[in-house]
Amino acid sequence: MSTADEREYWFPAKRYGWGWGLPRVWQGWAVLSVFGSLLGFGLVVLAPAGHSIEFFVYVSVLVAVLIGICYAKGEPPRWRWGKRS
């Protein structure tokens, strides 16, 4: 199916715009589920109304890690306009 030189991307590029779409392999889904679980944990432990600064820092770190994983395991990001005829 693929040669040794090809990379299997966990996160395909979006068809329109910049960034990544939903995962195409189980590893990407695992990353998203861990991200969602940790975000839910932060909502329970650091309820935003009581610890807004801590919650903001926590979510910022989670998002930075997710973006880093997408950069490392996803297609190279660039602006896309969909299929051009």
Give per-residue pLDDT as tens, 31-77. Answer: 999 999 999 999 998 887 888 899 999 999 999 999 999 999 999 98
**CB half-sphere exposure, 27, CA atoms < 13 A:** 10
Q: How confident is the model at residue 29 (pLDDT cuts 50, 70, 90)?
A: very high
Residue 72 tokens read as: 């490392």
Tokens of 16: 């329109």
CA 4 to each of CA 1, 12, 54: distance values in angstroms, whole numbers, following the listed order: 10, 19, 44
pTM reported for the whole predicted model: 0.80
